[in-house]
Copies of this chain bind each other. A is one copy, B any other.
């Protein structure tokens, strides 16, 4: 394609609200455009092209793994959310509206209810199972503070898959297959990532793993082992128990636990003074929707003691239980191998869940087993943040000049830059190489704009196509440059051999 004919509105201006590299460069490189600063984005031609490339990788690997693509209505009837019990639980992120006939609808933030509804109407027998159905579609979450560009927008593109099985064992087989499939997807996209144990959160279920793209800017803290492949979100991480005894100093923290329908209660958490309370673990320990700080002094009624202190504390309360509520610390010992644990930062780009019957039971998604007995289907669910991946790729792959796209995510394979469009020799060579690459099926961008050379190189750095041929002044001496965006490496190449070199490398 010709740069001069494409809408690539690059800019020097950094958006006011942008702090992350991906947010800044995706806007500045003309990939996306903010719609009124409200967590809504337009994908401009380059952004849309990358989205399609990522989309294609995801689809290809899922299809290979036997998944089937569907497309569900984005607007979903509120009645389904009542049936599953999430209409209240989900809170204000659920965008609700009424149509002209005063019927209630939800803009789907996730489609468990819709997919279970689809399957319960079409699958009746064990013969039709297992089934793994996915879509790559819009989602809407009315985030209280949309931020970081594509990282936490309100409208976003997601791949959501749902599998249905006759048994937990078969669901676990599929869960393992999806873990492998996700690894292939993230590997093909050129990402450095870790698969980590995760908390199952609001989706529910019994086991889940997150796919974390490693990046300093990641919102998630993950615990990794230096010696083995153990990794876990801090919310779910465990370490080898420490040797505490009766002399261990203990701290007690009071919190207010919030439940459905405005119910709340005060809970005290006791743990070694030297470790931190892990909020999500603590919340799970009392089955609450949320925990908020609580300062008032009071007698202890409900007490949760860290399981590391079991048998060593002399605390008393009306109701006392033990649970793992402490945050793993850097330097703790890996429970798997005895190695040393450390923190790193990650961006959650995928999440797979063993759901069990969390949705099939309330929504009555049943099948007849081999003995003609009705049973709830056992489910798994598997998500990838497709538009978020664009941000994650750039968080992991950029420098202080702009984007450095990976091979499978790059908007083009190669860019040809004609330095001076008024120089016929430069133009002729540029056009020649361009046509030759097109004929070979290489996705190539020809920078044929009238702009100054400096502006073209700045745009090249900003946009981040992996390789470029620069046809400049040295052409008079028979030399052009082959450039690699990662590191801005330059190779001088004789004009007689450049066609050959390109033919070899692409």
Contacts and interface: CB of A to CB of B under 8 A. Distances in A.
Interface in A12-42: 30, 33, 35-36, 38, 40-42
Contacts of A77: 35-36, 38, 40
Nearest to A4: B127
Interface string A125-156: 00010010100001010101000000000110
A292 interface: no
Contact of A154 (B75, B92, B96, B138): B75
Interface string A44-58: 110111010000000
A172 interface: no
- So how many copies of this chain end up in the complex? 2
Interface stretch (A114-122, A241-249, A357-365): A114-122
A102 to B, nearest CB: 12
Contacts of A49: 69
A142 B98 CA distance: 10
Contacts of A99: 38, 95, 142, 154
A42 B154 contact: no
B73 A42 contact: yes
B95 A70 contact: no
A140 B45 contact: no
A142 B72 contact: no
Contact of A73 (B35, B95, B97, B118): B35
Nearest to A80: B36
Interface in A69-107: 69-77, 79, 92, 95-97, 99-100, 103, 107
Contacts of A117: 35
A76 B35 contact: yes
A169 to B, nearest CB: 19
Interface of A: 5-7, 9, 30, 33, 35-36, 38, 40-45, 47-49, 51, 66, 68-77, 79, 92, 95-97, 99-100, 103, 107, 114, 117-118, 121-123, 128, 131, 133, 138, 140, 142, 144, 154-155
B138 A74 contact: yes
Contacts of A133: 7, 45
Nearest to A124: B9
A155 to B, nearest CB: 5
A100 B142 contact: yes
A16 to B, nearest CB: 15
A422 B77 CA distance: 44
A370 to B, nearest CB: 14
B100 A92 contact: yes
B71 A114 contact: no
A118 B154 CA distance: 19
19 contacts: A7-B68, A7-B122, A7-B123, A7-B133, A9-B123, A33-B118, A35-B73, A35-B77, A36-B79, A40-B75, A40-B77, A43-B70, A43-B72, A44-B70, A44-B122, A45-B70, A47-B71, A74-B155, A138-B138
Contact of A48 (B43, B69, B144): B69
A95 B42 CA distance: 20
Contacts of A114: 35, 42
Contact of A7 (B51, B131, B140): B131
Nearest to A91: B100
Given A33-B118, A95-B97, A155 B38 contact: no
Interface centre among A7, A49, A114, A142 (most CB of B within 10 A): A7
Contacts of A5: 66
Given A9-B122, A100-B142, A45 B73 contact: no
A318 B5 CA distance: 56
Contacts of A142: 99-100
A239 to B, nearest CB: 39
A216 to B, nearest CB: 29
A51 B71 contact: yes
A309 to B, nearest CB: 41
A68 B52 CA distance: 13
A42 B73 CA distance: 5
Nearest to A43: B71
Given A42-B73, A95-B100, 7 more contacts: A38-B103, A41-B73, A43-B71, A44-B118, A48-B71, A75-B140, A96-B97
